[in-house]
Structure 1
Amino acid sequence: MSTILIWPWLPAWDWWLPLVCLGCLCWRPRPATACLLFGLVWALCYSHWQLSWLQAPDLFQRSQLVAGTVDSVQHRENGASRLIVSLKSLNGQALSPRPRVLLSWYGQSEPPAVGDNIQSISRLQPPHSLLNPGSFNSARWLLGQGITARGYLTGTLGHQAVVASKRTRLARHIGTLTADLPARRWLLALSVGDRSGLQQDDWDMLRGLGVSHLFAISGLHIGLVAGLGLLVGRLSGHRFLAAIAAGGLALGYAWMAGFSVPTQRALLMLLVWLGLFCWGRFWSARRLLLLTMTLLLAAMPWLALDLGFWLSVLAVVALLVSAGWLGGRSLWRLQLGLSLLLLPLIILLFGGISWLSLPVNILLIPLFSLLLIPLLLLACLLVLPAPGLAMAALVLLNALFDPLMAGLHGLNDSLSPWQALSARAQGLWLLLFLLPPVLLLPRGRWLMALAMYLLLLQPGVLKPVVLEQGPEPRWEVRILDVGQGLSVLVTQGRRALLYDTGNRFDSGFNMADGVILPLLTRLGIDELDYLVVSHDDRDHSGNREYLAATLPVHHRRGVWPGGQHCRAGQREQWGILTLQTLWPVVPSGHRNNDSCVLHIGDGSLSLLLTGDIEAEAEQGLLALGQPVAAELLLSPHHGSRSSSSEAFNRAVAPDWVVHTAGYANRWGFPSSEVVARFKQQGVPQLITGEHGMVHLVADGDRWQLLQSRRPGPWYHRLNAWLTTGGRPPKSLE
């Protein structure tokens, strides 16, 4: 079932029959293979069962009337919230199974509470993610949470509040008691799993010090609570009572945390172990872990898409290896082994490492285990029967947490322990971690010397002396997938020009942190030679100040306060490339037709960046006789029908056209008329919202496209699956 993570496409549902027949044939000679095939069948059937409602007619072409129950509420900045809703009906038709959807809620009014029934008009779209190196994979995350569509509310027709559940009332009561405590957000995160109060600097600190796991209720916390219950129960002298006490406390804590995936995994493993404990049997931890994984994946195969699930599982594996192979009989040895063994996974998932993680965890884990978590659990148990005592415990916890978290913030701000790694550095570090098992092989020692040599060549470890100037690097163009917006990265080796910065949203999400900076880090680029902002629209200029404050920017061009405005006739040399500004004649930057039009070329190949100019500016460019001809064109205004006039297209005569249009955008970009014009001209076209980041490399007198179709596994191409009915794409047939 876990192979669903890497399926290249989602096969049609009728594949189940030949797979079952093949599994039956393999049952006696190869039972392991048969189990694998049966797991594939279940994952396949489960996926089609969950996704079947997405094939309703016109589901994504118009607004829908939906009714359902709110499963959870995630509060965001500026009054925005996200609701996870279990749908009961779509346009009056009952749904089975009930799909889960993620809906955005905007406005000043309070969003519905958990458990409320709502009826609303919503605009939906299938799970989709921006596809750039280093970007967060939202499609995989959504499906891993069992969410099969996302959208926003365009109108609420009905809202039926229901009596709050006991957990909700308890969470509200704890929230009320801690309302005036400075450490409230940390107390809520550890008691009821509510981390909505954590700010971006809190998340940066947790990542920088490598202590995020301490504030996600998971195996550490469940095991601690169960250990306390087991200790109390053993005082009775009865094994059964000890198991009941341990299981009851662990179940209660998991219930308070909302039964998140890490708590489910830890709780299930604990309950199985307690059952064996009462039965007087002993199973190895490895056997317990495999049984737990099997049960969880059997209940929900899409858990394999949730990286948090694998992180929690591999943490247990690392703990077992540390305790066994590394002789981890003490806390610091266990923590050392755990940190070292999880380091490759952290590098893969987060693209960096924290050099302070080990010492900070060695200090904090005993503090949390022996003092903070037991005291917090006691406060939660006393909230309803003795609120006065609970408040006293919470005040004591606040007195402990407030200086502790302030100290951790200060430590992170002063030392900046988080080190983001380029793709090359990540590969080298992972190579080093693979060497110890390789060294066990015959004649494997020479690989250690090779790895050390490669490590010394990493940027920042040793700077190799350049004896002579080599040939100029090829230049590359990356048109980033930033949704409905624009951002283009032009590079010559590690020298970079960025044209436009993508959008910045009221919710706090922005394309700088989500797309641009992770890509620059992967490429090993830590400064920009040029940052060009075409015009003032937020989907082009939303992150200019933020990027300028984050990275050294040597030249600012276009719409910048106090910067150098674009004016037709500007020309300068940048490495092997010539930068020519073709438009506007009179700098302004406040209208689409004032966009900075930039022509970049090396004498053989060229690129035309057009911003949001429309037919009026296109005619002006042609009237001035500007050299607009280019082999690569970014269609003006994202492919709007108000742009890309036939005369302009023929004057440019591109070999490639890229439409920077967001997936399922509400304006319908690129326009069918524009697509038809370029098609009639015989020009290949790509759309960033469908293809993902478009990466082209200068190859003599032609552009080489490095990725011919949207890469990745099946959940990156759900839209294609919906249109083909589950058949593989032609390129895979």
Structure 2
Amino acid sequence: MDKRLFFFCFGISTIMIWPWLPGWDWWLPLACLGWLCWRPRPAVACLLFGLVWALCYSHWQLSWLQAPELFQRSQLIAGTVDSVQHREGGASRLIVSLKSLNGQALSPRPRVLLSWYGADEAPAAGDNIQSISRLQPPHGLHNPGSFNSARWLLGQGITARGYLTGTLEHQVATPSHRTRLVRHIEAMTADLPARRWLLALSVGDRSGLDQADWDMLRGLGVSHLFAISGLHIGLVAGLGLLAGRLSGSRLLAAILAGTLALGYAWLAGFSVPTQRALLMLLLWLGLYCRGRFWSGRRLLLLTMTLLLAAMPWLALDLGFWLSVLAVAALLVSAGWLAGRSLWRLQLGLSLLLLPLIMLLFGGISWASLPVNMLLIPLFSLLLIPLLLLACLLLLPVPGLAMLVLLGLNALFEPLMAALHRLNDSLSPWQSLSALAQGGWLLLWLLMLSALLPRSRQVMTLGLYLLLLSLLPPASRPHWEVRILDVGQGLSVLVTQGRRALLYDTGNRFDSGFNMADGVILPLLTRLGIDELDYLVVSHDDRDHSGNRDYLAATLPVQHRRGTWPDGQHCRAGQVETWGDLTLRVLWPVTPSGHRNNDSCVLHIGDGRLSLLLTGDIEALAERGLLASGRPVAAQLLLSPHHGSRSSSTEAFNRAVAPDWVVHTAGFANRWGFPSPEVVARFEQMGVSQLITGEHGMVHLVAEGKRWRLVDAGRPGPWYHRLGAWLNGTKPLE
């Protein structure tokens, strides 16, 4: 049974790596093949059935995206708000289950993520709304080390995104029992300094946590304590089981444990980690009542099978795998490592999850183990039981509940302040480059190999590979250019080994999201770059300069150029030598940086290859630049103003005569960049063109007198190329 469950889950999970989405008609031959394999090879049959179900489910969920002109114009949508996430700056994000599109009923009801920018208060969960929205397919920025939002969206069952500025019709829903209880808890904790922590632990609302809180939780490795999951559900069930056993009835104990766990999961909103923990617990309680015993492995496999069968796209949710693998690591620690005490279990859990944490978050926390050793007992034996007691007393005895909440506030406030001080003073989080991650992974495998038979030979091979990874590469590119995918904006990284120049910094949004934390810093960490030789800001537009001050405060910067209050302004004629490269400022003649035509135009070359960075200059500045007589020829050109029709005049294009042109335009941007006229001009010249919004980060390596493109097509699985799928093509590249 275990083997069949495993292969069914494995078949569904292959959806993570499909290079393209096969046609719906593939299900029949795959199902027939599975039926033929059932008797001789049941495990293979289960794998094929998992593939078939994932394929059918995907086409079922995505079928509505092929409605005519769905993404070409605004749509009239009507639906029910499933959840609301309030963000900094007044913006909110709504997850809406659509009932109809332009008056046509939808089945199944797709879930869409809508950003709310209206002046009025955003709709609440459960409300019915009707509005006009411009939708886009799931799409994410594609850069090494960046968060994969396309995969995350599908993992949440979200098949489109858009924005709202108001509603045509808004029907306020009658508050549910949970909503009323949550509002009651929010009102009672309104004046408590530790309110955000109490809400995170009681109702799963972590919207009150700011960036400093998240940095502390990551730095100390204790984020899991504030994500209601197996630890919390298991603790509640354990208390119920212990109380029920006092009656001497196994059935009563199981009912009480299940009721308390179900109530806590309901209060927390039935998130994916709580669903997994609750389902596994209920299966175990059912067996417990019947006096039967199943191994933890079988319970985990059956839980995974039920969850993935209900929603195969959970396989795309990294949070799902983190919770599943945490349980698996706990089972291994308790069995294989003979971990009977808390410190052994925690040590085994930390070691087994180390590669996953490192690969998902790009680093490790050396303080995670000792801090968890102190906090897990404190949360399990004191804080969570007191918080549950307060929730139980909230309606029948609100005065007593308030006393318990005041006591919790007195405990949480100094505790969290101490954790913040600890994180600030020790800085335990260590971000790792790709090379360092590979070294740590090899070291981890060596530690595990010591427990295997004939470990000496395995360890010898591992040590040899580890030493090879530490050696410098035999040959390194002379210099490289990475045009980052920062949506509608610009950021270019030029490197010589570990020396770096950054031209423009991408956007910074009122919601708090910014391209420095989301794209630039993760890439620099991955490359092992911890300082910038040059930070050049072309002009003041926020999609170019939004993270200027933040990056200067975060990283050491040797030279600041462009629109800086305390830096050197760009002025035509400036020439500097940077390693093997020459930096030439071609424009502007009179610096100001406040207009597109004042953008800093920078020419970078080594005498054989060159790059022209143009900012947002338009036709007027292009004519002035050509009239100045300064050489603008370059094999690689960033199209001025993201490919706007106001730029890239025919005379300028022919003067530059590039082999490659990169249009730094966001996916499905509202301005229609790059302009079809501009694209046509370069096509007539036979120039190779790339768009960051479609290709992702463009990485070019200098090889003699030509540029070599790394990753010719948008890399990654099928969900990175949904646009091509919607257009009727299924690319393999």
Q: Distance in 2 between matches of 1:387 and 1:155?
A: 38
SS in structure 2 of the partner of residue 445 of structure 1: helix
Cα drift, residue 202 of structure 1 = 0.3
Say whether residues 1:252 and 2:263 are aligned partners.
yes
TM-score by length of 2: 0.97
Cα drift, residue 154 of structure 1 = 3.8
SS in structure 2 of the partner of residue 491 of structure 1: strand
Q: Distance in 2 between matches of 1:63 and 1:155?
A: 14
2:4 equivalent in structure 1: none
Give 2:58's aligned amino acid: S
Residue pair 1:584, 1:594 contacting (<8 A) in 2 also: yes
2:340 equivalent in structure 1: 329
Cα drift, residue 370 of structure 1 = 0.3
Say whether residues 1:444 and 2:455 are aligned partners.
no
Say whether residues 1:351 and 2:362 are aligned partners.
yes
Q: Distance in 2 between matches of 1:136 and 1:323?
A: 33
Cα drift, residue 447 of structure 1 = 2.8
Q: Distance in 1 between matches of 2:192 and 2:415?
A: 14
2:479 equivalent in structure 1: 475
Say whether residues 1:36 and 2:31 are aligned partners.
no
1:232 equivalent in structure 2: 243
Q: Distance in 1 between matches of 2:696 and 2:459?
A: 42
Q: Distance in 2 between matches of 1:94 and 1:704?
A: 49
Cα drift, residue 162 of structure 1 = 1.3
Equivalences for residues 9-408 of structure 1 within 5 A: 9-408=20-419
Say whether residues 1:503 and 2:507 are aligned partners.
yes
Residue 454 to residue 419, structure 1, CA distance change in 2 (3 Å): farther
Deviation string 1:563-621 (CA, Å, 9 cap, x unpaired) is 11111100011000000000001111111000000000000000000000011111111
Give 1:445's aligned amino acid: M
Residue 25 to residue 645, structure 1, CA distance change in 2 (3 Å): same
Q: Distance in 1 between matches of 2:499 and 2:118?
A: 43
Q: Distance in 2 between matches of 1:441 and 1:301?
A: 37
Residue segments in structure 2 that go unaligned for 5+ positions in a row: 1-11
1:558 equivalent in structure 2: 562
Q: Distance in 1 between matches of 2:724 and 2:176?
A: 41
2:604 equivalent in structure 1: 600
Q: Distance in 1 between matches of 2:447 and 2:730?
A: 40
Cα drift, residue 728 of structure 1 = 2.4
Residue pair 2:724, 2:730 contacting (<8 A) in 1 also: no
Q: Distance in 1 between matches of 2:114 and 2:697?
A: 26
Say whether residues 1:516 and 2:520 are aligned partners.
yes
Give 1:311's aligned amino acid: L
Q: Distance in 1 between matches of 2:291 and 2:475?
A: 72
Say whether residues 1:529 and 2:533 are aligned partners.
yes
Q: 2:634 aligns with which of 630, 633, 636?
A: 630
Give 2:458's aligned amino acid: G
Residue segments in structure 1 that go unaligned for 5+ positions in a row: 459-463
Tell me the number of residue pairs that the alignment of Structure 1 and Structure 2 aligns.
719
SS in structure 1 of the partner of residue 32 of structure 2: helix
Q: Distance in 1 between matches of 2:553 and 2:130?
A: 44
Residue pair 2:202, 2:387 contacting (<8 A) in 1 also: yes
SS in structure 1 of the partner of residue 166 of structure 2: strand
Cα drift, residue 79 of structure 1 = 0.8
Give 2:481's aligned amino acid: V
Give 1:256's aligned amino acid: L
Residue pair 1:123, 1:154 contacting (<8 A) in 2 also: no
Cα drift, residue 228 of structure 1 = 0.3
Residue 689 to residue 116, structure 1, CA distance change in 2 (3 Å): same
Cα drift, residue 445 of structure 1 = 3.1
SS in structure 2 of the partner of residue 155 of structure 1: coil
2:5 equivalent in structure 1: none
1:658 equivalent in structure 2: 662
Residue 553 to residue 163, structure 1, CA distance change in 2 (3 Å): same
Give 2:730's aligned amino acid: P
Cα drift, residue 280 of structure 1 = 1.1
Give 1:584's aligned amino acid: P
Cα drift, residue 448 of structure 1 = 4.8
Residue pair 1:122, 1:155 contacting (<8 A) in 2 also: no
Deviation string 1:287-335 (CA, Å, 9 cap, x unpaired) is 1000000000000000000000000000001101111111110111111
Residue pair 2:85, 2:94 contacting (<8 A) in 1 also: yes
Give 1:543's aligned amino acid: N
Cα drift, residue 156 of structure 1 = 1.2
Deviation string 1:407-447 (CA, Å, 9 cap, x unpaired) is 00000011100000000000110111112444535422313
SS in structure 2 of the partner of residue 65 of structure 1: strand
Q: Distance in 2 between matches of 1:157 and 1:452?
A: 62
2:730 equivalent in structure 1: 728
Deviation string 1:124-162 (CA, Å, 9 cap, x unpaired) is 101100000010000110110111111101431011101
Question: What's the % identity of the aligned pairs?
Answer: 84
Give 2:398's aligned amino acid: P
SS in structure 2 of the partner of residue 186 of structure 1: helix
Give 2:370's aligned amino acid: P
Deviation string 1:107-133 (CA, Å, 9 cap, x unpaired) is 442111110111111111011000000
Cα drift, residue 165 of structure 1 = 0.5
1:461 equivalent in structure 2: none
Q: 1:684 aligns with which of 688, 706, 713?
A: 688
Give 1:356's aligned amino acid: A
Residue pair 1:223, 1:266 contacting (<8 A) in 2 also: yes
Q: Distance in 1 between matches of 2:250 and 2:449?
A: 45
1:672 equivalent in structure 2: 676
Q: Distance in 1 between matches of 2:393 and 2:23?
A: 54
Q: Distance in 2 between matches of 1:187 and 1:588?
A: 50
Q: Distance in 2 between matches of 1:541 and 1:286?
A: 52
Give 1:331's aligned amino acid: L
Give 1:698's aligned amino acid: A
Residue pair 1:613, 1:637 contacting (<8 A) in 2 also: yes
Residue 634 to residue 373, structure 1, CA distance change in 2 (3 Å): same
Residue pair 1:225, 1:250 contacting (<8 A) in 2 also: yes
Q: Distance in 2 between matches of 1:529 and 1:313?
A: 43
Say whether residues 1:610 and 2:614 are aligned partners.
yes
Give 2:627's aligned amino acid: A
SS in structure 2 of the partner of residue 658 of structure 1: strand
Q: Distance in 1 between matches of 2:399 and 2:280?
A: 35
SS in structure 2 of the partner of residue 96 of structure 1: coil
SS in structure 2 of the partner of residue 531 of structure 1: strand
Q: Distance in 1 between matches of 2:193 and 2:541?
A: 39
SS in structure 2 of the partner of residue 179 of structure 1: coil
Q: Distance in 2 between matches of 1:196 and 1:24?
A: 48
SS in structure 2 of the partner of residue 717 of structure 1: helix
Q: Distance in 1 between matches of 2:159 and 2:689?
A: 29
